[in-house]
Amino acid sequence: MTGLFDLPIRDDLRGLTPYGAPQDHVPVQLNVNENTHPIPEEVATDIVKALAQAVMGVNRYPDREFSELRDSLAHYLGHGLTRENIWAANGSNEVLQQTLQAFGGPGRSVLGFPPTYSMHSIIAHGTGTRWITAERDSDYEISPETVVTAIEREQPDVVFLCSPNNPTGTRLELETVVAAYDATPGILLIDEAYAEFAEGDTALTLLEGRPRLLVSRTMSKAFAFAGARLGYLAADPAVTDALRLVRLPYHLSALTQAAGVAALSHAPEMLAMVDDIKAQRDRMIAALPGLGYSPVPSESNFVLFGGVADPHLTFEALFEQGILIRDVGIAHHLRVTAGTEQETEIFLDALSSLVGHSQHPTSDTIGRIGE
């Protein structure tokens, strides 16, 4: 049987593995930072009506410029933005991919600060952009001095920074963003996928007068729209012109556009669940130390916690109880999404039942979990 690497695949893709978070169907799924709250019924009804209307015209290509959607996104973001500042694609991953297609590529590089969103490096490899890394400060922070030193040393064409960062939940100070922008002659992209869960100012406030600054967002998290696949960015209009050069024709379907516009017209109702998610996040941060774990302060919809003797064993033990969280590859750490109040209760109760095992697993526990 022919295998993947028997094919004439690009040399720089050999040995790589695709992104693959587990998709096991268990009662409590808290592993990929989805919004586990369902869309309000009245909002869902309006979205379905919009989709039904759009279906009547699917014999024609969609609006290539997705003008109404861009207007809706600009209105939602505020900060004086107009449709000319907005770009959108099938999830923020495609936005990032198009950014590197336009500003990265063979012979160019993108700088990141691990641990960070794993798709950043995957998208870099997929576009032929060299992925280079620099270290964070203690507690997963990045100071202005740290980011400037890394940029001056590596001279990247593109810099990716997450705020809040995935998987740590830590937020960048705006002075770090300004320092990074001033230090690089290239593109600076701030990935704000979890911005609605954070306190403080957004990098959107810095866009004016900074044509090489891009701020990406998604509707997957706060808007509970992960299955719709809609991401976007705000930037100088010249950036959207650059992205037009690399996007595929009619890349956003009429159905995606209709669903997005309908959802954005109900932004207050869609975002009403954000406060509850933040409350469950803070509840876990408060409870985890009492169970012997060390949560990282988070301004996202998830919590990274340390003090786990064997993350794999703890992951498996929770999975046996119908709970799916995430092993992000950081030694002695696991990450859990902030779900509903009930899901949080189930997770904390299950983790409590493992105390003494997950922190100091015995040979008997290891054998049982491995069965």
Question: How is the chain split into domains, by residue range?
Answer: 22-37+273-369, 41-266
Say what the pTM is.
Answer: 0.93
Helix (H, G, I), strand (E, B) or coil at 288: helix
DSSP 8-state class, residue 185: S
The token duo for 191 is: 């990935």
When pLDDT is averaged across residues 159-169 and rounded to a whole number, the result is 98
- The least confident of 5-9, 36-40, 295-299, 323-327 is 5-9
Annotate 297-352 with DSSP letters as a single string: P-SSSEEEEE--S-HHHHHHHHHHTTEE-B--S-TT-EEEE---HHHHHHHHHHHH
pLDDT of residue 67: 98
Distance CA 222, CA 273 (A): 8
Say which residues have a Cβ less than 8 Å from residue 274's Cβ, sequence separation at least 6: 196, 197, 222
Distance CA 282, CA 342 (A): 15
Host H or E run for residue 181: helix 174-183
* 22 has a pLDDT exceeding 90: no
Distance CA 329, CA 312 (A): 10
DSSP 8-state class, residue 64: T
Phi/psi for 296 (5° steps) reads -85, 130
pLDDT of residue 303: 98
* 363 has a pLDDT exceeding 50: no
Buried b (16+ CB within 10 A) or exposed e, 343-363: bbebbbebbeebeebbbebee
Helix (H, G, I), strand (E, B) or coil at 217: strand
Distance CA 31, CA 307 (A): 18
Max CA distance (Å), the chain: 63
Distance CA 266, CA 308 (A): 41
The token duo for 18 is: 């695709």
pLDDT of residue 309: 94
- The yes/no answer on whether domain 41-266 falls in CATH 3.40.605.10 is no
pLDDT of residue 357: 58
* 360 has a pLDDT exceeding 50: no
What pLDDT, in 10s, does the model give residues 230-285?
999 999 999 999 999 999 999 999 999 999 999 999 999 999 999 999 999 999 99
The CA radius of gyration of the chain, in Å to the nearest whole number, is 21
307: nearest Cα among 323, 288, 325, 327: 288
Contact call for residues 137 and 146 (beta carbons, < 8 A): yes
* 206 has a pLDDT exceeding 80: yes
CATH architecture, domain 22-37+273-369? Alpha-Beta Complex (3.90)
Average pLDDT of the residues of the chain:
93
350: nearest Cα among 323, 310, 327: 323
Would strands 334-337 and 302-306 be described as parallel, antiparallel, or unpaired? Answer: antiparallel
Contact call for residues 267 and 254 (beta carbons, < 8 A): no
pLDDT of residue 11: 87
Say which residues have a Cβ less than 8 Å from residue 318's Cβ, sequence separation at least 6: 324, 325, 347, 350, 351, 354
Q: How confident is the model at residue 369 (pLDDT cuts 50, 70, 90)?
A: very low
190: nearest Cα among 151, 170, 162, 218: 162
CB count in 10 Å sphere of residue 1:
3
